[in-house]
Amino acid sequence: MKATVLHAVGEPTVVEDITLRDLGPDDVRVRLAASGVCHSDLSIIDGGMPAVLPCSLGHEGAGIVTEVGTNVTTVKEGARVVLTWNDACRTCFHCLRGEPYLCPSGMGYIYDAPYAEGAAGPVWQSLGAGTLAEETVVPAAAVIEIDPELPLDLASLLGCGVATGVGAAVRTARIQVGETVVVVGCGGVGLSAIQGARLAGASRIIAADRVASQLNAAKRNGATDVIDTSAIDLPTAVRELTAGIGADHALEVVGLPETILAAYSSARRGGVVTLVGAGRYDESVTFPALSLMADAKQVRGSVYGATDAPRDIPIMATLAVTGRLDLQALVTERIRLDEVNAAFASMAAGNGARRIVVFDDV
Ligand SMILES: [Zn+2]
Ligand SMILES: [Zn+2]
Protein backbone atom coordinates (compact mmCIF):
# COMPACT_ATOMS: atom_id res chain seq x y z
CA MET A 1 0.00 0.00 0.00
CA LYS A 2 1.60 3.26 -1.16
CA ALA A 3 1.61 6.33 1.09
CA THR A 4 3.26 9.75 1.05
CA VAL A 5 5.77 9.72 3.90
CA LEU A 6 7.73 12.64 5.36
CA HIS A 7 10.95 11.46 7.04
CA ALA A 8 12.49 14.81 8.03
CA VAL A 9 11.40 18.48 8.10
CA GLY A 10 12.36 20.30 4.90
CA GLU A 11 12.95 17.15 2.87
CA PRO A 12 10.84 16.03 -0.11
CA THR A 13 8.24 13.41 0.75
CA VAL A 14 8.70 9.82 -0.37
CA VAL A 15 5.91 7.72 -1.89
CA GLU A 16 6.64 4.31 -0.39
CA ASP A 17 5.05 1.03 0.64
CA ILE A 18 3.82 0.84 4.23
CA THR A 19 1.76 -1.78 6.06
CA LEU A 20 -1.23 -0.40 8.00
CA ARG A 21 -1.97 -1.51 11.56
CA ASP A 22 -4.73 -4.05 12.10
CA LEU A 23 -8.29 -2.78 12.24
CA GLY A 24 -9.47 -2.11 15.81
CA PRO A 25 -13.09 -2.74 16.88
CA ASP A 26 -14.01 0.97 16.46
CA ASP A 27 -12.07 1.52 13.22
CA VAL A 28 -12.82 1.46 9.52
CA ARG A 29 -10.54 0.82 6.56
CA VAL A 30 -10.96 3.21 3.63
CA ARG A 31 -9.69 2.81 0.07
CA LEU A 32 -9.00 6.38 -1.04
CA ALA A 33 -10.51 7.60 -4.31
CA ALA A 34 -8.98 11.05 -4.06
CA SER A 35 -7.11 13.33 -1.70
CA GLY A 36 -6.70 17.09 -1.84
CA VAL A 37 -3.27 18.55 -1.16
CA CYS A 38 -3.74 21.01 1.71
CA HIS A 39 -1.50 23.80 2.97
CA SER A 40 -1.29 22.17 6.39
CA ASP A 41 0.60 19.27 4.77
CA LEU A 42 3.11 21.85 3.54
CA SER A 43 3.28 23.35 7.05
CA ILE A 44 4.20 19.92 8.41
CA ILE A 45 6.89 19.59 5.72
CA ASP A 46 8.42 23.01 6.45
CA GLY A 47 8.18 22.60 10.23
CA GLY A 48 5.57 25.32 10.78
CA MET A 49 3.18 22.73 12.22
CA PRO A 50 4.78 20.15 14.53
CA ALA A 51 4.29 16.45 13.81
CA VAL A 52 5.80 13.17 14.91
CA LEU A 53 8.05 11.84 12.13
CA PRO A 54 8.18 9.85 9.99
CA CYS A 55 4.52 10.43 9.19
CA SER A 56 2.20 9.84 6.27
CA LEU A 57 0.66 13.06 4.94
CA GLY A 58 -2.79 14.05 3.69
CA HIS A 59 -5.97 14.79 5.65
CA GLU A 60 -8.51 15.80 2.98
CA GLY A 61 -9.72 12.58 1.39
CA ALA A 62 -12.73 10.69 0.15
CA GLY A 63 -13.15 7.04 -0.67
CA ILE A 64 -14.96 3.79 -0.11
CA VAL A 65 -15.19 1.94 3.20
CA THR A 66 -13.75 -1.55 2.61
CA GLU A 67 -13.86 -3.01 6.15
CA VAL A 68 -15.50 -2.07 9.45
CA GLY A 69 -14.54 -3.01 13.02
CA THR A 70 -16.75 -5.27 15.12
CA ASN A 71 -18.22 -2.36 17.18
CA VAL A 72 -18.98 -0.09 14.22
CA THR A 73 -22.66 0.55 13.53
CA THR A 74 -22.58 4.01 11.94
CA VAL A 75 -21.23 3.04 8.53
CA LYS A 76 -21.15 -0.09 6.35
CA GLU A 77 -18.76 -1.61 3.85
CA GLY A 78 -19.18 0.10 0.47
CA ALA A 79 -20.19 3.48 1.92
CA ARG A 80 -18.93 6.54 0.03
CA VAL A 81 -17.31 8.73 2.66
CA VAL A 82 -15.42 11.94 3.27
CA LEU A 83 -12.70 11.76 5.91
CA THR A 84 -12.46 14.35 8.67
CA TRP A 85 -9.46 14.93 10.93
CA ASN A 86 -11.90 16.22 13.58
CA ASP A 87 -13.35 12.99 14.98
CA ALA A 88 -14.75 14.71 18.07
CA CYS A 89 -15.43 12.63 21.21
CA ARG A 90 -18.92 14.14 21.89
CA THR A 91 -18.39 13.94 25.68
CA CYS A 92 -15.64 16.45 26.60
CA PHE A 93 -15.99 20.04 27.89
CA HIS A 94 -15.89 21.55 24.37
CA CYS A 95 -18.07 18.95 22.65
CA LEU A 96 -20.78 19.50 25.30
CA ARG A 97 -20.69 23.23 24.52
CA GLY A 98 -21.14 22.81 20.78
CA GLU A 99 -17.45 23.27 19.97
CA PRO A 100 -16.43 19.90 18.51
CA TYR A 101 -13.75 21.66 16.44
CA LEU A 102 -11.94 22.30 19.76
CA CYS A 103 -12.25 18.72 21.03
CA PRO A 104 -8.79 17.78 22.36
CA SER A 105 -9.09 14.16 21.27
CA GLY A 106 -10.53 15.12 17.88
CA MET A 107 -7.78 17.47 16.78
CA GLY A 108 -6.05 14.86 14.70
CA TYR A 109 -2.59 15.59 16.03
CA ILE A 110 -2.91 13.61 19.23
CA TYR A 111 -0.62 10.67 18.71
CA ASP A 112 -1.02 7.54 20.79
CA ALA A 113 0.94 5.15 18.64
CA PRO A 114 2.23 4.68 15.09
CA TYR A 115 -0.41 3.46 12.63
CA ALA A 116 1.78 1.67 10.12
CA GLU A 117 5.10 -0.02 9.55
CA GLY A 118 7.45 1.15 6.79
CA ALA A 119 10.74 -0.25 5.52
CA ALA A 120 12.63 1.93 8.03
CA GLY A 121 10.35 1.32 11.02
CA PRO A 122 7.11 2.77 12.48
CA VAL A 123 5.16 5.44 10.56
CA TRP A 124 2.81 7.94 12.26
CA GLN A 125 -0.41 9.31 10.80
CA SER A 126 -0.39 13.09 10.37
CA LEU A 127 -3.62 14.74 11.56
CA GLY A 128 -5.01 11.28 12.23
CA ALA A 129 -5.90 10.78 8.58
CA GLY A 130 -3.09 9.84 6.17
CA THR A 131 -5.14 10.37 2.99
CA LEU A 132 -2.29 10.87 0.51
CA ALA A 133 -2.19 7.10 0.38
CA GLU A 134 -4.03 4.28 -1.35
CA GLU A 135 -5.64 3.18 1.92
CA THR A 136 -6.00 4.32 5.52
CA VAL A 137 -7.34 3.06 8.84
CA VAL A 138 -9.22 5.60 10.98
CA PRO A 139 -11.82 5.59 13.78
CA ALA A 140 -15.37 5.24 12.41
CA ALA A 141 -16.07 8.75 13.79
CA ALA A 142 -13.60 10.12 11.22
CA VAL A 143 -15.66 9.10 8.18
CA ILE A 144 -18.86 10.80 7.04
CA GLU A 145 -21.17 9.26 4.48
CA ILE A 146 -22.25 11.70 1.76
CA ASP A 147 -24.75 12.01 -1.09
CA PRO A 148 -23.63 9.29 -3.56
CA GLU A 149 -24.28 11.66 -6.47
CA LEU A 150 -21.23 13.74 -5.57
CA PRO A 151 -18.07 12.51 -7.36
CA LEU A 152 -15.47 11.47 -4.79
CA ASP A 153 -12.66 13.58 -6.27
CA LEU A 154 -14.69 16.74 -5.62
CA ALA A 155 -16.02 15.36 -2.33
CA SER A 156 -12.48 15.01 -0.95
CA LEU A 157 -12.21 18.81 -0.74
CA LEU A 158 -15.04 18.95 1.79
CA GLY A 159 -12.90 17.21 4.43
CA CYS A 160 -10.61 20.16 5.15
CA GLY A 161 -10.32 23.15 2.80
CA VAL A 162 -13.98 23.66 1.96
CA ALA A 163 -15.22 23.00 5.50
CA THR A 164 -12.57 25.44 6.79
CA GLY A 165 -13.30 28.21 4.27
CA VAL A 166 -17.07 27.98 3.88
CA GLY A 167 -17.40 27.37 7.62
CA ALA A 168 -15.30 30.48 8.40
CA ALA A 169 -17.75 32.60 6.41
CA VAL A 170 -21.05 31.09 7.56
CA ARG A 171 -20.27 29.58 10.99
CA THR A 172 -17.42 31.65 12.52
CA ALA A 173 -18.00 35.08 10.92
CA ARG A 174 -21.76 34.47 10.50
CA ILE A 175 -21.91 36.83 7.52
CA GLN A 176 -25.39 38.27 7.04
CA VAL A 177 -27.25 39.15 3.83
CA GLY A 178 -26.03 42.48 2.47
CA GLU A 179 -22.79 42.71 4.45
CA THR A 180 -19.45 43.58 2.85
CA VAL A 181 -16.57 41.12 3.05
CA VAL A 182 -12.86 41.18 2.25
CA VAL A 183 -11.00 37.87 1.96
CA VAL A 184 -7.21 38.13 2.25
CA GLY A 185 -5.49 35.22 0.51
CA CYS A 186 -7.06 33.31 -2.37
CA GLY A 187 -5.71 29.77 -2.14
CA GLY A 188 -8.10 26.85 -1.79
CA VAL A 189 -9.40 27.89 1.64
CA GLY A 190 -9.68 31.59 0.70
CA LEU A 191 -11.63 30.72 -2.45
CA SER A 192 -13.90 28.51 -0.30
CA ALA A 193 -14.43 31.47 2.05
CA ILE A 194 -15.40 33.59 -0.97
CA GLN A 195 -17.95 30.93 -1.95
CA GLY A 196 -19.18 30.90 1.66
CA ALA A 197 -19.65 34.68 1.59
CA ARG A 198 -21.61 34.29 -1.66
CA LEU A 199 -23.82 31.61 -0.06
CA ALA A 200 -24.41 33.91 2.92
CA GLY A 201 -25.61 36.73 0.64
CA ALA A 202 -22.74 39.21 1.01
CA SER A 203 -23.34 42.33 -1.08
CA ARG A 204 -19.68 42.90 -1.94
CA ILE A 205 -16.92 40.28 -1.77
CA ILE A 206 -13.48 41.82 -2.14
CA ALA A 207 -10.68 39.31 -2.83
CA ALA A 208 -7.05 40.20 -2.11
CA ASP A 209 -3.91 38.34 -3.18
CA ARG A 210 -0.41 39.06 -4.47
CA VAL A 211 -0.69 36.60 -7.37
CA ALA A 212 -2.71 37.67 -10.44
CA SER A 213 -3.85 34.13 -11.32
CA GLN A 214 -5.37 33.77 -7.85
CA LEU A 215 -7.42 36.92 -8.39
CA ASN A 216 -8.83 35.45 -11.60
CA ALA A 217 -9.75 32.33 -9.64
CA ALA A 218 -11.37 34.56 -7.00
CA LYS A 219 -13.67 36.05 -9.67
CA ARG A 220 -14.67 32.55 -10.80
CA ASN A 221 -15.53 31.72 -7.16
CA GLY A 222 -17.75 34.73 -6.57
CA ALA A 223 -15.57 37.76 -5.78
CA THR A 224 -17.17 41.02 -6.89
CA ASP A 225 -13.92 43.00 -6.65
CA VAL A 226 -10.23 42.04 -6.62
CA ILE A 227 -7.20 43.82 -5.18
CA ASP A 228 -3.62 42.98 -6.21
CA THR A 229 -1.79 43.53 -2.93
CA SER A 230 1.62 43.32 -4.61
CA ALA A 231 0.85 46.79 -5.99
CA ILE A 232 -1.93 48.33 -3.86
CA ASP A 233 -2.35 49.01 -0.10
CA LEU A 234 -5.21 46.77 1.02
CA PRO A 235 -6.91 48.86 3.76
CA THR A 236 -6.90 51.95 1.50
CA ALA A 237 -8.40 50.01 -1.41
CA VAL A 238 -11.07 48.40 0.79
CA ARG A 239 -12.11 51.84 2.10
CA GLU A 240 -12.41 53.12 -1.48
CA LEU A 241 -14.83 50.25 -2.23
CA THR A 242 -16.88 50.74 0.96
CA ALA A 243 -17.60 54.49 1.00
CA GLY A 244 -14.67 55.12 3.35
CA ILE A 245 -16.08 52.80 6.06
CA GLY A 246 -14.13 49.53 5.75
CA ALA A 247 -15.57 46.03 5.38
CA ASP A 248 -18.12 44.52 7.79
CA HIS A 249 -16.02 41.36 7.72
CA ALA A 250 -12.33 40.71 7.04
CA LEU A 251 -11.33 37.06 6.66
CA GLU A 252 -7.59 36.39 6.80
CA VAL A 253 -6.58 33.16 5.07
CA VAL A 254 -2.79 33.44 4.91
CA GLY A 255 -1.48 33.30 8.48
CA LEU A 256 1.35 35.87 8.21
CA PRO A 257 1.67 38.72 10.73
CA GLU A 258 1.50 41.38 7.99
CA THR A 259 -1.61 39.94 6.32
CA ILE A 260 -3.33 39.54 9.70
CA LEU A 261 -2.68 43.24 10.39
CA ALA A 262 -3.84 44.21 6.86
CA ALA A 263 -7.08 42.29 7.44
CA TYR A 264 -7.55 43.95 10.84
CA SER A 265 -7.04 47.41 9.27
CA SER A 266 -9.45 46.61 6.42
CA ALA A 267 -12.37 45.81 8.75
CA ARG A 268 -14.63 48.72 9.67
CA ARG A 269 -14.87 50.02 13.24
CA GLY A 270 -17.09 47.50 15.02
CA GLY A 271 -16.43 44.96 12.28
CA VAL A 272 -15.44 41.32 12.59
CA VAL A 273 -11.95 40.00 11.79
CA THR A 274 -11.89 36.23 11.29
CA LEU A 275 -8.48 34.56 11.37
CA VAL A 276 -8.47 31.42 9.23
CA GLY A 277 -4.87 31.12 8.02
CA ALA A 278 -2.63 28.91 10.13
CA GLY A 279 0.27 31.04 11.32
CA ARG A 280 3.56 29.59 12.46
CA TYR A 281 3.66 28.56 16.12
CA ASP A 282 6.87 30.59 16.57
CA GLU A 283 5.63 33.92 15.11
CA SER A 284 3.70 36.73 16.87
CA VAL A 285 1.45 39.60 15.76
CA THR A 286 1.45 43.06 17.39
CA PHE A 287 -1.83 45.03 17.38
CA PRO A 288 -2.13 48.76 18.16
CA ALA A 289 -3.37 48.68 21.78
CA LEU A 290 -5.68 51.71 21.62
CA SER A 291 -7.37 50.49 18.43
CA LEU A 292 -8.17 47.11 20.00
CA MET A 293 -10.43 48.95 22.46
CA ALA A 294 -11.48 52.11 20.65
CA ASP A 295 -12.34 50.56 17.27
CA ALA A 296 -14.33 47.77 18.95
CA LYS A 297 -13.46 45.19 16.32
CA GLN A 298 -14.03 41.55 17.15
CA VAL A 299 -11.07 39.31 16.33
CA ARG A 300 -12.10 35.66 16.04
CA GLY A 301 -9.95 32.63 15.51
CA SER A 302 -11.57 30.07 13.22
CA VAL A 303 -10.63 26.41 13.63
CA TYR A 304 -12.05 24.11 10.94
CA GLY A 305 -14.58 26.85 10.11
CA ALA A 306 -16.30 26.24 13.48
CA THR A 307 -17.99 23.33 11.72
CA ASP A 308 -19.42 20.16 13.20
CA ALA A 309 -18.20 17.76 10.52
CA PRO A 310 -20.99 15.11 10.65
CA ARG A 311 -23.59 17.91 10.46
CA ASP A 312 -21.90 20.27 8.00
CA ILE A 313 -20.09 18.01 5.51
CA PRO A 314 -23.34 16.38 4.30
CA ILE A 315 -24.91 19.86 4.01
CA MET A 316 -21.97 21.05 1.93
CA ALA A 317 -22.16 17.89 -0.21
CA THR A 318 -25.81 18.64 -0.98
CA LEU A 319 -24.95 22.27 -1.75
CA ALA A 320 -22.42 20.91 -4.24
CA VAL A 321 -24.85 18.42 -5.80
CA THR A 322 -27.46 21.17 -6.24
CA GLY A 323 -24.89 23.54 -7.74
CA ARG A 324 -24.94 26.16 -5.00
CA LEU A 325 -21.34 25.32 -4.06
CA ASP A 326 -18.99 25.05 -7.06
CA LEU A 327 -16.28 22.56 -6.04
CA GLN A 328 -14.90 22.28 -9.57
CA ALA A 329 -14.02 26.01 -9.47
CA LEU A 330 -11.58 25.19 -6.65
CA VAL A 331 -9.66 22.57 -8.61
CA THR A 332 -6.35 23.62 -10.16
CA GLU A 333 -5.43 20.19 -11.48
CA ARG A 334 -5.82 16.47 -10.92
CA ILE A 335 -2.52 14.65 -10.41
CA ARG A 336 -1.07 11.19 -9.68
CA LEU A 337 0.34 10.28 -6.27
CA ASP A 338 3.93 10.39 -7.56
CA GLU A 339 3.45 14.05 -8.59
CA VAL A 340 2.78 15.18 -5.03
CA ASN A 341 6.19 16.82 -4.41
CA ALA A 342 5.68 19.04 -7.47
CA ALA A 343 2.27 19.97 -6.06
CA PHE A 344 3.84 21.00 -2.75
CA ALA A 345 6.42 23.13 -4.63
CA SER A 346 3.69 24.95 -6.60
CA MET A 347 1.74 25.52 -3.39
CA ALA A 348 4.81 26.95 -1.65
CA ALA A 349 5.12 29.43 -4.55
CA GLY A 350 1.55 30.59 -3.92
CA ASN A 351 0.14 29.19 -7.17
CA GLY A 352 -3.19 27.47 -7.63
CA ALA A 353 -6.08 26.49 -5.41
CA ARG A 354 -6.54 22.78 -4.87
CA ARG A 355 -4.61 19.97 -6.47
CA ILE A 356 -6.32 16.61 -6.11
CA VAL A 357 -4.46 13.32 -6.16
CA VAL A 358 -6.74 10.83 -7.90
CA PHE A 359 -6.07 7.13 -7.32
CA ASP A 360 -6.22 4.49 -10.05
CA ASP A 361 -8.96 2.06 -9.36
CA VAL A 362 -11.84 3.66 -7.48
ZN1 LIG B 1 -14.71 16.20 22.65
ZN1 LIG C 1 -6.12 20.89 5.62
Candidates 175, 142, 187, 122; CA nearest to 300 is 175
CA–CA distance, 357 with 38 (Å, rounded to integer): 11
In contact, 298 and 249? CB cutoff 8 Å:
no
Distance from C-alpha of 181 to C-alpha of 225, rounded to nearest angstrom: 10
pLDDT at 88: 93
What is the pLDDT at residue 140? 95
What is d(CA 63, CA 79) in angstroms, rounded to the nearest whole number? 8
How far is 273 from 246, CA to CA, in rounded Å? 11
* CA 94–ligand 1 middle distance (angstroms): 6
Å from CA of 264 to ligand 2 middle? 24
CA of 335 to the centre of ligand 2 (A): 18
Cα 146 from Cα 246, distance rounded (Å)? 39
Per-residue confidence (pLDDT) for residue 325, from 0 to 100: 98
- What domains are there in the chain, each with its CATH number? 2-159+326-358 (3.90.180.10), 165-303 (3.40.50.720)
With beta carbons less than 8 A apart as the criterion, state whether 108 and 138 touch: no
Contact present, 215 and 207 (Cβ < 8 Å): yes
DSSP assignment letter at 51: -
Q: How far is the CA of 292 from the centre of ligand 2 (A)?
A: 30
pLDDT in tens, the chain (362 residues): 999 999 999 999 999 999 999 999 999 999 999 999 998 899 999 998 888 999 999 999 999 999 999 999 999 999 999 999 999 999 999 999 999 999 988 766 455 778 899 998 999 998 889 999 999 999 999 999 999 999 999 999 999 999 999 999 999 999 999 999 999 999 999 999 999 999 999 999 999 999 999 999 999 999 999 999 999 999 999 999 999 999 999 999 999 999 999 999 999 999 999 999 988 888 999 999 999 999 999 999 999 999 999 999 999 999 999 999 999 999 999 999 999 999 999 888 877 789 999 996 55
Span from the CA of 12 to the centroid of ligand 2 (angstroms): 19
**Cis (ω within 30 of 0) for the bond into 54?**
yes
State how far the Cα of 58 lies from the Cα of 131, in Å rounded to an integer: 4
Ligand 2 centre from 38 Cα, in Å?
5
Write down the pTM of the prediction.
0.94
Q: Are 207 and 225 in contact (CB under 8 A)?
A: yes
Q: Residue 82 and residue 63: Cα distance in Å, rounded?
A: 7
Cα of 128 to ligand 1 centre, how many Å?
15
**Which residues, by Cβ under 5 Å, contact ligand 1, an ion?**
88-89, 92, 95, 103
Nearest ligand (C-alpha, residue 187)? 2
> What per-residue confidence (pLDDT) applies to 117?
93
Say what the pLDDT of residue 210 is.
95
Ligand number with the minimum distance to the CA of 84? 2
- Helix H or strand E encompassing 42: helix 39-45
d(CA 60, CA 46) in angstroms, rounded, equals 19
Write the burial class of residue 7 (CB in 10 Å: 0-12 exposed, 13-18 middle, 19+ buried).
Answer: middle
CA of 89 to the centre of ligand 1 (A): 4
Residues 340 and 45: their CA atoms lie apart, in Å, by 12
CA 325 to chain centre: 16
| Burial label, 8 (beta-carbon count in 10 A; 0-12, 13-18, 19+) | exposed
Spatial distance between the Cα atoms of 80 and 31, rounded to a whole number of angstroms:
10
- Give the Cα separation of 190 and 30 in Å (integer): 29
Tens digits of residue pLDDT in 71-98: 999 999 999 999 999 999 999 999 999 9
